[in-house]
Amino acid sequence: MTSYVVTLYKLFLGEQDTTTGHYQVGYTIHSIEMPVFPAGTRIGLSNGYYTRYSMTGFTEYNVDEGDVVLDGLGRYYKVLSLKPWSVGDELAFYECELEQQASFPFIAGFFGFEDTEHETLSCGFADGFERGYFAL
């Protein structure tokens, strides 16, 4: 099976600004597996499932709306929504609606992002983030 390793920029909120009330935005960097397909791609057998979003990612890792994915071709995607799929009472994977972005960071005011060596996550991570980067 082909490995679809992508870089996940996991969104988190930092301290709240006392003047504006806005929270500082930051990202932690992780490597995960997530194949990304365009709309209408057939997944599975001949009577399989077809992707319905303009770009769809599938992963078993914990992703959230607002996270950013960087694929192996240097394309950035923002996670717009996700739908959990399960078999019985066990989570099988998440189907993520992705929107391609021209560049990253695409948040206004983001300054000084540094991509250093990052951690590979296992499937069952909780809140063990290794490093955060904040927007100013």
Render each residue's pLDDT in the chain as its tens digit; 136 residues: 355 899 999 888 878 888 888 888 788 888 999 999 998 888 765 566 778 889 999 999 989 998 999 998 889 999 999 999 888 888 888 999 999 988 776 554 444 344 444 444 444 434 444 444 444 3
Cβ contact 33:63 at 8 Å: no
The b/e string for 27-58 (b: 16+ C-beta within 10 A; e otherwise) is bbbbebbbbbbeeeeeeeeeeeeebebebbbb
Q: Which amino acid is at 44?
A: G
- Report pLDDT for 129: 42
Write the CB contacts of 136 (distance below 8 Å, at least 6 apart in sequence): 24, 109, 110, 111, 112
Residue spans of the domains in the chain: they are: 30-102
Q: Estimate to the nearest angstrom the gap between the alpha carbon of 2 and the chain centroid.
A: 19
